[in-house]
Amino acid sequence: MIPAIFVFIYLAAVLYIGIFAFRKARGREKPEDYFLASRSLGPFVFLFSLFGTNMTAFAILGSSGHAFSNGIVTFGLMASSSGLVIPLTIFLMGTRVWALGKKFGFMTPVQMFRDRWECGDIGTAIFVVQAVLLVPYIIIGIMGGGTTLNVISGGLVPYWFGGAIVALVVMSYVFFGGMRGTAWVNTFQTILFLTFGVIAIVVIGVGMGGFRSAANAMLASPALAPLLTRERISPLYFFSYTFIPLSAIAFPHILIFCLTAEKMNHFKKTVIFYPLCILAIWLPCVFLGVMANRVTDVPQIKAKQEARRVLATQGKTMTPEARDELREQSAGDDVIMLLLQRYAPLWLAGLLGAGIMAAVMASDSQILALSTMFTEDVFAFYGGKRRFGEAVQVHTGRIFIVIITIVAYAVALRAPETIFELAIQYAFSGFAALSPLLMAALFWKGSTKWGALAVTLWTVAAVVAVAVFQHAVPAPAPGPPLVAWAVGGTEVLTRTPGGTAVFGFMPVVPMVLVSGLLMVIVSLLTSKPKQSTIAKYFSV
């Protein structure tokens, strides 16, 4: 229970930060202040809050879980590629979006697209797709909060109650603090998990008797040695993953965050330090996830390894349902928490639990982004702001935050978590496929609204097609993939144990490439916006 007390202290602290931000903003009840902190964030808060916004529960729990099952490849797959692509996109596109926001007063990406391509309803279509792809993150954040509190308290706090507490705390500081409160909380959270990642690796390393012996013991074991190499993942799959970080700049919450910097110079530190922040958080998590395989005295870890072994040796003869059950049993998302429980003193496990909680609660920015998008792209666009005024717009945003949190909590209580984990996988590819929208809007004078519509419809069709395919064709046992379509001996479409492959690539590769092609072809065939509109954008 002691670790849970630390977590509750942490929750009280973030709640206080939100309320403090609310008091600081009193008397400035304007949409730009509530939703964008008056575009006034300083360099330090901008760096840590932007980074914290992008670090969801997956960064700590999911990365160590993935590394537990797949080995060191997790770091190159998800972290170092993001460390190159994300700051590069912030450098190239984030700065331009910031400048356009300052110049024309945009508060959401859809506002910019509507103005850039002179389109109203197509903007609404983009809003709907962005919103649908964003909702699973909010649900999974609440689920993660419930599960983490339940595990940290040793089962004393039930899942439904833990989820309710997390939902209430996140809703409260977003409700009161708006962007300012969310940015401050994200900064606090990022500092927490940057600090505790280092502490965790030292404590667990000492507890395990040093990593040197653990690494050598793994090398000596035929079953575990491959985890210290990348032989379980194909080079094509590894290459495909470099397309996933393109999703970051297409996420509405990241783009909206880009509008909050006071000066463009504040991007400089973010761009330079982003890869180092990723290194500092992911390297310990991935390494600990791999090393967890050497722990012999934690029964839950042994049970996961046994499930993995059964899946590998007998998976082919099992039903798809039995395989899915074993996959779930072998999943390592809680290995970091198990290692902390085994090796860290109670008080430190509590502090580290608060750090993990910080990562799990990263759904705040998505909630605020959805609220900003709803009030700007729907409420204000369809005349609400003109009729009722700015104060009502902010109230509408706050009511939306309450409604979306309650709905997300209700869904989190009823639906199985795996569905939303899958939805997030699709969402990453979906947002990556939407990234050509932003590239075309910012860099190509010839792009048109019909090109934008083609990209949006293609993204929806591709995400639905992958989801239907994976539902219709169950994942095979570990080993060679199941070939669904081959032409002249070339495998076109295959079902792999972890997902789908098109010509050996992850679906995100054709999704992004076709999106880009559609933008070019459809734009070339359709009429451009007025010259005056184009001139507005390309003088910046």
Partner 1 sequence: MKRILLVIAVIALYFLHQDFWFWRTAHPLVFGFVPIGLFYQGCFSVAAALLMWLLVKFAWPQHLEQEIEQQKTEEGRPR
Contacts to partner 1 by CB under 8 A:
72-73, 75-76, 79-81, 83-84, 87-88, 91, 95-96, 98-99, 102-103, 210-212, 214-216, 219, 225, 228-231, 235, 238-239, 242, 263-265, 268, 271-276, 278-279, 283, 286-287, 539-540
Residue 382 C-beta: closest distance to partner 1, Å: 29
**Got the DSSP string for 460-473?**
HHHHHHHHHHHHHS
| Nearby residues of 229 by Cβ (< 8 Å), 6 or more positions away | 71, 72
Residue 136 C-beta: closest distance to partner 1, Å: 28
Residue 68 C-beta: closest distance to partner 1, Å: 14
Indicate the residue among 88 and 348 with the shorter CB distance to partner 1.
88
- Helix or strand or coil: residue 280? helix
Tokens of 531: 């010259």
The type of residue at 409 is: Y
Indicate the residue among 42 and 389 with the shorter CB distance to partner 1.
42
* 3-state percent breakdown (helix, strand, coil) of the chain, nearest 5: 80, 5, 20
The alpha carbon of residue 290 and the mean position of all alpha carbons in its chain are separated, in whole angstroms, by 22
Question: What is the end-to-end Cα distance of the chain in Å, rounded?
Answer: 56
Sign for the CA dihedral angle at 378, 379, 383, 385 comes to negative
Sign for the CA dihedral angle at 270, 283, 343, 155 comes to positive
Indicate the residue among 84 and 422 with the shorter CB distance to partner 1.
84
Indicate the residue among 25 and 218 with the shorter CB distance to partner 1.
218
Residue 71 C-beta: closest distance to partner 1, Å: 9
Indicate the residue among 268 and 398 with the shorter CB distance to partner 1.
268
Cα 56 from Cα 163, distance rounded (Å): 16
Q: What angle do CA 509, 121, 178 make, to 5 degrees?
A: 80
Indicate the residue among 234 and 526 with the shorter CB distance to partner 1.
234
Residue 505 dihedral angles phi and psi, to the nearest 5° = -95, 160
Residue 536 C-beta: closest distance to partner 1, Å: 12
Task: Give the CA distances from residue 137 to residues 131, 331, 380, in Å, rounded to whole numbers and listed in that order.
Answer: 11, 19, 25
Indicate the residue among 96 and 449 with the shorter CB distance to partner 1.
96
Residue 173 C-beta: closest distance to partner 1, Å: 31
Residue 408 C-beta: closest distance to partner 1, Å: 33
Residue 91 dihedral angles phi and psi, to the nearest 5° = -60, -45
